[in-house]
Amino acid sequence: MPLVSMNEFLPKAKANKFAVGQFNMNNLEFAQAIVDAAIEENAPIIYGVSEGALKYMGIEYTVAIAEAAAKKSGLPIALHLDHGSSFEIAMKCIRAGFSSVMFDGSHYSLEDNIRLTKEVVRAARAMGVSVEGELGTIGGVEDDISVDEEHASLAKPEEAIRFYEETGVDCLAIAVGTAHGMYKGEPKIHYDIIQKVVDAIPVPVVLHGGSGVPDEAIRLSIQAGVGKINVNTENQVACTNTIREVLAANPSAYDPRKYLTPAREAMKAVVKEKIRLFGSSNQA
Ligand code: 13P
């Protein structure tokens, strides 16, 4: 199957109250672990690629790897730019073969965020590519983007509804209390904000910062109307911890396959567990 837009599965996710996982792709092993988990669970998935990951992997390799995974698996897979910072980067990704893009204008004023997101939606729609917008500021660290607690701000439901109505995005990331990276304590998720927004718009809300959120909080978020959940850090931790353990036990190892194979298995286990928790098994 070729790569698909998120509209292949997000409307069904919203209607049937499950969430599709966006798992960030950082290299070939991440991509393989994610798709192998999805094959075993027969689940739709989204490969998220940040601008930092794009620089690291190169756009041609990124698209080729995702296309190979979609072809091999036969699953509906979207290749999605995560936190795109400009119209130009969104267009560059679409031209290269991405089937979905996020435009993150959350650091602009509401008016500018709406204006800029609309431009991306207009161009992407003409190409059959789905678009995610963002409102409110999600805290934490992701790649080169760092937002401290003080500057993280929750989304206002009435602004989120207006943002949807004026931009027509296919899903909407709103800041509801989660953060990128690992949490020090437990995140306090504002389910009421999710519910208010979801009830007023036809598309699902996206939960960023899915790593380290307790299972029950994930279930309640999905019940409230979250239809897409992003996970990156938990896979990074599983990968790196496994490599550390293997190298500690075999200090003379030098063949990367000796530590990358178990690292890939560890990430696959994380992704399988998340797919089950999100309720997206057998939804492909
Ligand atoms: P985590 O790294 O906290 O899982 O967040 C991922 C994310 O939201 C990507 O946009």
Right CATH for 6-278 from 3.40.50.720, 3.40.220.10, 3.20.20.70, 3.30.450.20: 3.20.20.70
- What is the 252 CA–ligand 1 centroid distance (Å)? 34
Taking the C-alpha atoms of residue 276 and residue 282, their distance in angstroms, rounded to an integer, is 9
Q: Indicate which residues carry an active-site annotation.
A: 82
- Per-residue pLDDT tens listing for the chain (284 residues): 999 999 999 999 999 999 999 999 999 999 999 999 999 999 999 999 999 999 999 999 999 999 999 999 999 999 999 999 999 999 999 999 999 999 999 999 999 999 999 999 999 999 999 999 999 888 777 776 677 665 678 999 999 999 999 999 999 999 999 989 988 888 899 999 999 999 999 999 999 999 999 999 999 999 999 999 999 999 999 999 999 999 999 999 999 999 999 999 999 999 999 999 999 999 99
CB 181 less than 6 A from any atom of ligand 1: yes
Pocket residue to mutate for ligand 1, from 232, 236, 240, 271, most atoms within 8 A of Cβ: 232
Report the distance separating Cα 20 and Cα 45, nearest Å: 6
Q: Which residues of 138-162 are buried (b: 16+ CB within 10 A; e: fewer)?
A: bbbebbebebeeeebeebbbebbbe
Cα 140 to Cα 99, 145, 194, 233, distances in angstroms? 27, 8, 20, 11
- Domain spans of the chain? 6-278
Q: Is 208 in the pocket of ligand 1 (CB under 6 A)?
A: yes
